[in-house]
Structure 1
């Protein structure tokens, strides 16, 4: 299911943080440079655009009824969540939420949010 796929992705991400630490450090350093360098900012923007496009394809594989523009926005939403989780897990792994904690919180918050509409 789409939800199982999200959880599996988060778990795989959490499990691979040590392996990808050099890439994560380079990303954080590039973010800092992007405020001072138009070239770096443009490169990061291009990387994010490619990532949104690739992720939107995965979203549409799971949720084929979504229009392409909506799939792109859903992809951007999950990229934002993933980037935030990566930073929390790298900076403060002892106090950052685990995948199980995130999943439990999502199970509580999502129905409450959707039911409030």
Structure 2
């Protein structure tokens, strides 16, 4: 691995151990066994490096979600109830918060920084767009009749829900909505 990759791995380690707001450039250098100048050379700033690390981690989480979506597309009747499939997908999303807790904590810290650091905002916005694109593919597997626009609209709803669900789960997991709760709420709203 080169310095760039070492810095990225060190930044991820620091995010998981210390969080976004408490990680210093020196922490990253120590964890990556590189030097301070490498951060500026490869990423421009510590914030850009940390945000890249978060987005890279979301990519890993996205790969896990792709596996879940693939399993759903083979295990769920494509002609079955759309709301039940959405509920199942939401259940799996909520369950993933437990295995990726540190990622979501770091993401919440980064969201707060986005207002003040344009490069963080740009990277996070690009990450949301990438998540939407990935979800579109999964939605079209689950719902073969969904055209691109419909799948993107559903993906946008899921992306809008994710931070709120994650925040509720991080603060009080025993009272956070489950996939079944989300399905029930949608049924009531659509009735």
* Coarse TM-score class (shorter-chain normalised): 0.7 to 0.9
Q: Which residue of 2 aligns with 1:94?
A: 174
Change (3 A) 1:40 1:108: same
Q: Which has the larger radius of gyration?
A: 2
Cα deviation code 1:72-112 (max 9, x no counterpart): 1221012212322111111222333333333222222222x
Q: 1:12 aligns with which of 92, 104, 107?
A: 92
Q: Is the 8 A contact 2:168 2:176 kept in 1?
A: yes
Would you say the 8 A contact 2:133–2:152 is kept in 1? yes
**Match for 2:124 among 44, 52, 57?**
44
Aligned length: 111
Distance apart, 1:45 and its partner CA: 0.9
Scaled by the length of structure 1, the TM-score of the pair is 0.79
Unmatched segments (≥5 aa) in structure 1: 112-117
Partner of 2:51: none
Change beyond 3 A, Cα 1:63–1:27:
same
Larger RCO: 1 or 2 (CA < 8 Å, sep 6+) = 1
Unaligned runs of 5+ in 2: 1-79
Q: Does 1:106 align with 2:189?
A: no
SS of match in other structure, 1:108:
helix
Query: 2-side partners of 1:100 and 1:67: how far apart?
Result: 26
Tell me: CA distance 1:68–1:103, structure 2 relative to 1, closer, same or farther (3 Å): closer
8 Å Cα contact 2:89/2:179 also seen in 1:
no
Q: SS of the residue aligned with 1:18?
A: helix
Distance across 2 between alignment mates of 1:17 and 1:43: 21
Q: Deviations for 1:55-74, whole angstroms, at most 9, x for unmatched residues?
A: 11122223333332332122
* TM-score when normalising by structure 2: 0.52
1:96 is paired with a residue whose SS is coil
Q: What is the aligned partner in structure 1 of residue 153 from structure 2?
A: 73
Q: CA RMSD in A?
A: 1.9
Q: Secondary structure at the match of 1:93?
A: coil
